[in-house]
Structure 1
Amino acid sequence: GGDQERKRRASTQNIAGIVGMAKAIEICRENMVSEKNLQTPLRDLLLEKIPQLIEGVKVNGDRINRLPNNAHFSFAGLSSESLLMSLDMQGMYASMGSACTSGAMEPSHVLQAIGVDDSLAMGALRITIGRWTTQEHIEDLLKALPKIVKSLRI
């Protein structure tokens, strides 16, 4: 595009896409508080119970000032991959970290920056709570995860 288009690619604007995005943002804004109110107690339950139930677990990040749907842990002596595979076999899904680093085989630079030891960072597990996550899902995870960790540490 020319100067009249601020050097953006010349084309017709995607009006339908723009209107659709505006509506999606409107819906998200309307539901933001109710989503937060549903997700925060579930996240807090994970942050409280996982370190109580499993030895050698570190909560990564601040326990209060964090996203309402995000709980991030490091498990001493375990690899993220083994945790993820074991959870997957139970029909439970988590991640090693952010989507942009989920396939990386080295410690997260973010975890390193907040002072997490490299060996602990290699056992990172991010649990994200979604719109349809229920108390029952969390309870199922809290039952399964200690057994998984115990079997992997043998």
Structure 2
Amino acid sequence: MTVTVVVGNPKPASRTLTAATLVAKALRPDAEPAVIDLVSFGPALLGWGDPDVGAAVRAVRESSLVVFASPTFKATYTGLLKLFLEQFDGATGLADVLAVPVMLGAGPAHALAPDLLLKPVLVELGATAALPGLYLSDSTFQDDGVIDRYAERWRPVAQALEVVDHA
């Protein structure tokens, strides 16, 4: 089973990347996740047909579990993540992908953002988003136990829902 982390933070090697990787490893401790740090694509995300962006889209489509992660910007996910998601075809672009929306923020004010804002887009693209979204404190996620409790509760569900690799 292929596990991928997609990070929509405009800062490379961000806390969002760290958090998303921890979530992926907690849900699938037997798999090393591939990481797609969208900031590395720069302006290539603004157009269509870039080969590197295309390869990232294919990698996500061929994954069985994908953690989509973003910091909370203006009460929603970043434009960087939106640009990447625009690269997928309509209602089937993420077919057979179990998607987990994860967002980080400074406080609890936007705790529903992963479920209210990011999850509907993933579902619209055909992903299975049966697990609740996860909102993490950007300053305490490594020590507060939230990721471990989430994984303990949802790991069996994620494993039951994963589709065999597409390759």
More strand, by proportion? 2
- TM superposition score normalised by structure 2: 0.33
- TM superposition score normalised by structure 1: 0.35
Larger radius of gyration between Structure 1 and Structure 2: 1
